[in-house]
Amino acid sequence: MYKIFDKLFSELKEVLDLDAEFACHKVSEGRICPVYKNDTTEVGLCRWKEFHAQNPVYIKNDEILTEIISENKSIGISNLDEDGRNYPCFKTFNIKSIYGGPIEKDNTVVAIIVIAVLNDYYEFTKEKIEKCNDIIKKYNDVIVGTIL
């Protein structure tokens, strides 16, 4: 069932030439809920799910999520330390750069694909963001139809 995410994450990793935390969060009841992520030594799948269970991330309290969901657009932030929207959950995992791209159903964001870069900065250029968007759009309907 989650092989679709492994394929998506692999394509994103390849196009960005980046080892990072790749994840999918479902939008539900005003917050984001973990669906799946790549299992890494930095943040394992179980730890990630436990963190979100103990520390719910509410959309209304997060400017980045609010922008992604309300405007149905992706966001790439290359330096969270210089961004005024750096929230505690980013600091917990020492996330330095982040990308969030929407998964949509009937023009409503139902999930977000996140690429989190830990302990280092990554330049999410306009071109890289567009490539990520194209890859995510390719998988959108399959993810909505089988997982969400």
Spatial distance between the Cα atoms of 85 and 45, rounded to a whole number of angstroms: 25
Weakest mean pLDDT among 25-39, 80-94, 118-132:
80-94
- Residue 147: predicted pLDDT: 76
CA distances from residue 142 to 8, 75, 105, 118 in whole angstroms, order as listed:
11, 22, 11, 29
Spatial distance between the Cα atoms of 58 and 62, rounded to a whole number of angstroms: 7
- Is the pTM higher than 0.85? The answer reads yes
- Residue 86: predicted pLDDT: 59
By the 8 A CB rule, do 116 and 16 touch? no
AA letter at 104: E
Domains in the chain with CATH codes = 3-146 (3.30.450.40)
